[in-house]
Amino acid sequence: MLQRLNKYISTCGVCSRRDADDLIKSGRISVNKDTIVEPGFSLDPDKDSVFYDGEKINVAKKVYYLLNKPKGYVTTTEDEKKRKIVTSLVPPLPKVFPVGRLDVNTTGLLLMTNDGDLTQLLLHPTHGYDRIYVAVLSEPLDEGRKKLLEKGVVLERKFSKFKYIKFVSKNKRIVQVCAKEGRNHFVKKMFALLGLFVVELHREQLGPFTLGDIPPGKYKKIPEPKIKEYINSIEKD
C-alpha cells in the first residue's frame, strides 16, 4: 500500500510530518537512488528504501516519554547556538522529537515521542486540547483584567481567551491558566497585552497528559497500551 513520504519519515521517528516536509523540500531525503523534493510524494514501504542525509531510515518502535523540562533547555532536536537540548534528557534511541514547544526558560510537561500520528492529533488546531500552566506575574492580577482575559481579547488580529484563570497565591501574582491554543508565547502575550509580565511559566498538563511528581530534568516512559487509552479519551472529547 502506498504511503505519503512525510508520514513514513514521521513513522520512522525522524521528526513530525510538518518538519518532514521541510526536510523533503531541502533535498535531504531520497527514495531508492532518487532525491525527492515534493512533499506529496508517495512510496511503497515494503519495496522502497528511504534515506535521510544518505542514511537509511526504518520504522522504529513507538516510544512515549513525559519529561519535566527544566530551565535552560531548548525544545528542538538540534541547536545551531549549541545550547542544551531536551532530547539529551531522554534515551538517544529510538530518536524522539518534542510535541510542540516550550520556551527556553519555560518549565514543565513536555511529551516526547516518535509517534507522528499522536503528535498530529494533539497539535491540530481543530481539537483545542487543554494546556494548563502556572504563571508567576510581575504584579497582582486584578479582577477586571482576569475577567477580560476569560471573556476574550484580540491578540494578533485573532479573538483569544483563557478557558479559566485561578488564583494560586493570596497576593494574586501566581495564577493557574487553562488555554486551548498552542500559539507561540500565547500565555505570555495574553498577559502582556494587558500590561503584565510573566516572570516564570510552568506547564502542568497537555490534553490527557499530566506531569504528576516527575522531578525536573527527569522523564517517565508511558506504555503503549496507556497511550491507546489516552487516544480513545481524546477522540471522545
Domains 3-57 and 131-206 share a fold: no
Q: Does CATH place domain 64-125+208-236 in 3.30.70.580?
A: yes
For residue 237, what pLDDT is reported? 54
For residue 63, what pLDDT is reported? 92
The reported pTM is: 0.77
Helix, strand and coil content of the chain, in percent to the nearest 5, comes to 25, 30, 45
> How is domain 131-206 classified at the CATH fold level?
Alpha-Beta Plaits (3.30.70)
The residues facing 108 across adjacent strands are 69, 203
Catalytic residue at 103? Answer: yes
- Number of Cβ within 10 Å of residue 5's Cβ equals 24
Q: Which of 103, 117, 130, 142 is catalytic?
A: 103
For residue 171, what pLDDT is reported? 96
For residue 230, what pLDDT is reported? 78
For residue 97, what pLDDT is reported? 87
Report d(CA 175, CA 136) in Å as an integer: 7
pLDDT profile of the chain (237 residues), mean per 10: 89 82 94 92 93 89 94 88 92 86 95 84 74 97 97 95 96 96 92 97 92 95 86 65
For residue 141, what pLDDT is reported? 97
**Class of domain 3-57 (CATH, top level):** alpha beta
The domain segmentation of the chain, as residue ranges, is 3-57, 64-125+208-236, 131-206
For residue 140, what pLDDT is reported? 97
